[in-house]
Structure 1
Amino acid sequence: MNNLAGVDLNLLTVLEALLAERHVSRAALRLNKSQPAVSHALARLRLLLDDPLLVRHGGGLSPTARALELAPHLSEALDRMRHLLAPSGFDPAHERRRFRLAMSDYGAAVLLPRLMPLLRSEAPHCDLLVSQASREAMEAQILDGEIDLAFGVFPGLSDRLAQHRLFEDRYVCLADAANLPPPGSLDLDLYLARPHALVALRGDIENEIDRGLSALGRRRRICLTLPHWGVAPRLIVGTDLILTVAYGILPPAIETGGLRQFALPFPLPAIPFMQIWHPRRLGDPAHQWLRERIAGFFAEG
C-alpha cells in the first residue's frame, strides 16, 4: 500500500487500540467510540491490509503475525504524528498527560518519593501509571510504545534505545546479627557456605552477583527467590540466610531490627541506575520535561 489517497488514517488509531486492548469493547471504550464502529473499522483494516489482523482466542482477540510485525512501526508512526500536531512546548501547570513508567520496587523506593511531590506541585493534571516487569520486558515495552520511561539496571541495552545514568549504587550484605561471627562480617568462603536469598522477578536469569562469582570460579546456593525488595530483609531475621542488596533500598534503621550490614566479600562494579526511553520520544516536550526533572533529582551538587 504505497498510495495514501483515499485511506482514512483514523483507522490506524483504531488498530493501535485493538492491539493494545485485544478486545473490541475495551478498544471502543478507550477510543470513546461505539462497539459497532470499532468492529466496522476492523473490517475495513482487514480489507486494507489483506490480513485478519486479530482473530478470536478465548474471550478476546489474538494478533496475527502480520499485526505483530506492524505494531512497533504503527506506534512509532502515530507518536510522530501526535508530536507533529501537538502544540510546541509543554505547560506542566495546565496540561493533562498520563506518563507510563516501569520500574522495580527498588526503583519505586528511590524515585517515586521524589517524583510524586514534584508532579503534585508543578504538574497537578498529570497522572502516573507505574508497572513492574523484568529488564527484558521493560526494554520490549519501550520498543513497542507500551511505556514512556523505564528505570533500572540494563546491561547490554539495545542501541535502539536512549539512556541516561541517574546515579550509581553499591551492593551490601545483610544477615541476622545473632548468626554472624565477630567482627560481624564473613569472608568469601563463609559467605558461600551460607544459603542466600535473591530478589528477582525470575530466578533463572543470571544477575550481576552471580556473574561476579562465576568470574571467580565460585557459585552460591540460593534457597529463596522472591520478587519484592521491601519484604526481603525481614525474611532473613532469625535465619542463617544472607541477602545481598543494593544499598539504596535499605531503610535507615536496618540494623535496629536484628540485622547486621557488612561489605560484599568480593569486588563488583558499581550499580548504574538508568532511565531509558525510545528516541522517538525526543521531540515530545512533555516527555523531555519529565526526563529532565527526574535527572535533576540525582544531579551532583
Structure 2
Amino acid sequence: FYICIVRFHSISSNLKVQDLCRCGTLGMSDDFEIAFGRRLIEEVARIAPKLRLIFRQTHSQIVGDALMERSIDLAVAAGGFAERLLSRQVLGEGGYACLVDPRSLAPGQNSIELAQFVARDQILVSSGGFIGITDEGLAALGLSRRVCASTTHFAALPHLLKGSQAVATIPAHAAQSIAALCDLALLPCPLALPRYPIELGWRTSTQLDPVLAKVREAIVASFA
C-alpha cells in the first residue's frame, strides 16, 4: 500500500490530513471484479472509509510476478501463489456455467445438451486466446468445438453474444452476475469440467501493514 495525495489547486502547504487517503492495488481478473467488486468496495468502505481500492487486471500465470514486483498489494486468482515469499489463503472453489442469448433458445429451454453445445459457435475468454478448459474437456471425449472469436475480457461477452447463436463457457460466479445484469440466459455447463481453487495471495512479511490486514479481512468476508 502507498499514500495517495488528493490534488487540489491550492498549494501543498494548505493540504490537511483529511486530504490524504490510502490506496491499495488489488489484482484480479475481471470475472472476479464483475462478481465481487461491488461487494468488496462496500466492505472496504465499512472498515476503512479512507481507503481507495485500485483494481488491476491479472491472472494465475502472472499474479506471482506482479506481487513480487510490487505492482499489486493483494491478489485474488485461481492459484499462482507458489513462490516461497508469497502467502495464500483459500477463499473457496469455482465451477463453470454457460451464457447464451435467450432468443437463441426454444421456449422454456433452461439447459443445453452436449450435442447442441458443440454445434454452436463458441466465444472463448482466455489470456492467450487459443485454447481453454472447455477444449481440454471436449478433447477427452473425442470432441472439438468451433471458436468464432476470443477475448481477454469477460465484460465484453454481452456485446459478443447478443443477437447470435453463440455460447460462452465461463466461471459460474461471473456468468451469474453477467446474466443478472445483461439479459443473457444462464445455463448449466453440459460438460463435466474440473473445479478450481479461488485463492487470496499476498507478500509474506514479518511486519504486516494493519490496513492491509483489514483489507484481507474484507476480501475474505466478500467471498464467504
Q: TM-score, normalised by structure 2?
A: 0.76
> Is 1:158–2:82 an aligned residue pair?
yes
Residue 66 of structure 2 is matched in structure 1 by: 141
Percent identity reads 30
- Give how far 1:241 is off: 0.6
Larger Rg: 1
Residue 9 of structure 1 is matched in structure 2 by: none
**CA RMSD in angstroms, aligned pairs only:** 2.9
Unaligned residue ranges in structure 2 (runs of 5+) = 1-19
Unaligned residue ranges in structure 1 (runs of 5+) = 1-94
> Is 1:194–2:120 an aligned residue pair?
yes
- Give how far 1:281 is off: 6.8
The 5-angstrom pairing of residues 1-301 of structure 1 reads: 97-154=22-79, 157-160=81-84, 161-181=86-106, 183-204=109-130, 206-249=131-174, 250-251=176-177, 254=180, 257=183, 259-280=184-205, 283-299=208-224
- Give how far 1:189 is off: 2.5
Separation in structure 2 between the aligned mates of residue 288 and residue 281 of structure 1, nearest angstrom:
12
From the superposition, tell whether residues 231 and 146 of structure 1 become closer, same or farther in structure 2 (CA, over 3 Å). Answer: closer
| Residue aligned with 2:61, SS | helix
| Residue aligned with 1:150, SS | strand
Separation in structure 2 between the aligned mates of residue 134 and residue 187 of structure 1, nearest angstrom:
30
The structure whose residues are more often strand, as a share, is: 2
Report the AA paired with residue 169 of structure 2. T
From the superposition, tell whether residues 134 and 159 of structure 1 become closer, same or farther in structure 2 (CA, over 3 Å). Answer: closer
Report the AA paired with residue 203 of structure 1. G
The structure whose residues are more often helix, as a share, is: 1
CA contact (8 A) 1:162 1:277 kept: yes
1:6-39 Cα shifts (integer Å, max 9, x gaps): xxxxxxxxxxxxxxxxxxxxxxxxxxxxxxxxxx
Separation in structure 2 between the aligned mates of residue 252 and residue 239 of structure 1, nearest angstrom:
16
- Give how far 1:247 is off: 2.4
CA contact (8 A) 2:99 2:179 kept: no
From the superposition, tell whether residues 102 and 252 of structure 1 become closer, same or farther in structure 2 (CA, over 3 Å). Answer: closer
1:44-65 Cα shifts (integer Å, max 9, x gaps): xxxxxxxxxxxxxxxxxxxxxx
Q: TM-score, normalised by structure 1?
A: 0.58
Separation in structure 1 between the aligned mates of residue 51 and residue 206 of structure 2, nearest angstrom:
17
